[in-house]
Amino acid sequence: MALWLFKSEPDVFGWPDQVALGDTGGEWHGIRNYQARNNMRLMQLGDRGFFYHSSIGKEIVGIVEVIGPSHPDSTTDDPRWDCVNVRAQRPFAHAVTLDKIRNHPALTEMVLVKNSRLSVQPVRPEEWDIICALGQTEP
DNA sequence: GCCAACGTTGGC
DNA sequence: GCCAACGTTGGC
């Protein structure tokens, strides 16, 4: 099982919107970046990811589960763009802010820190565990 | 709202 | 295939 991080602007689509989709979840569509798309193509059922609020909040607020494999993005006819389906798994007891991540000595190599523009990115297991602990959430 | 960083496009 | 111009993202 692999671990990821999904970014979204909460005023467009935030954690409450993801929760509202329920157990059937929905497409993580609208990604128009090759690196992010390639990451989604690598995803398998049961993979999990952090849900990160960019711009407003700048914090990780919950965990999503990949429930649908990579397939064409229904919001475009352009065959280049694929997406996966995800559903909310659980919220963080405490959101983990970008500031906190930046200032944690073991998290300075995170993609979120190194390449802040990549909207779908891999997370290392040790990073996953540290952030879950900071959020007082089960891994 | 600004701007730096990054990705993409298109002319050559 | 290079690179300048342009557009977008996202932190501040």
Domain membership of residue A103 (yes or no) is yes
Q: Is the CB of A80 under 7 A from strand B?
A: no
Look at chain A and report how many structural domains it folds into.
Answer: 1
Cα–Cα nearest to A135, from A12, A15, A55, A25: A15
Q: What are the counts of helices (DSSP H) followed by strands (DSSP E) for chain A? A: 5, 6
Domain membership of residue A139 (yes or no) is no
Task: Note the pLDDT of residue A110.
Answer: 95
Q: Is the CB of A11 under 7 A from strand C?
A: no
Q: Is the CB of A75 under 7 A from strand B?
A: no
Domain membership of residue A121 (yes or no) is yes
Mean pLDDT computed over every residue of chain A: 95
Task: Note the pLDDT of residue A89.
Answer: 98
Domain membership of residue A30 (yes or no) is yes
Task: Note the pLDDT of residue A43.
Answer: 97
Domain membership of residue A37 (yes or no) is yes
Read off the CATH number of the domain in which A81 is found. Answer: 3.10.590.10
Task: Note the pLDDT of residue A32.
Answer: 93
Boundaries of domain holding A78? 3-134
C-alpha distances in Å from residue A66, one per residue of A44, A114, A138: 7, 24, 17
Phi, psi values for residue A52, rounded to 5°: -110, 130
Enter the pTM of the model: 0.95
pLDDT for A39-60, tens place per residue? 999 999 999 999 999 999 999 9
State, as a whole number of angstroms, the distance between the CA of A52 and the C1' of C9: 15
Residue A77 has pLDDT above 90, yes or no: no
Look at the alpha carbons of A106, A43, A90, A8 in this order and tell me if their dihedral is positive or negative: positive
Which nucleotide does the CA of A33 lie closest to, via C1'?
B7
What is the rounded distance in angstroms from the CA atom of residue A136 to the CA atom of residue A14? 20
Question: Does residue A79 sit in helix, strand or coil?
Answer: coil
Which nucleotide does the CA of A98 lie closest to, via C1'?
C11
Average pLDDT over residues A115-130: 95
Task: Note the pLDDT of residue A125.
Answer: 96
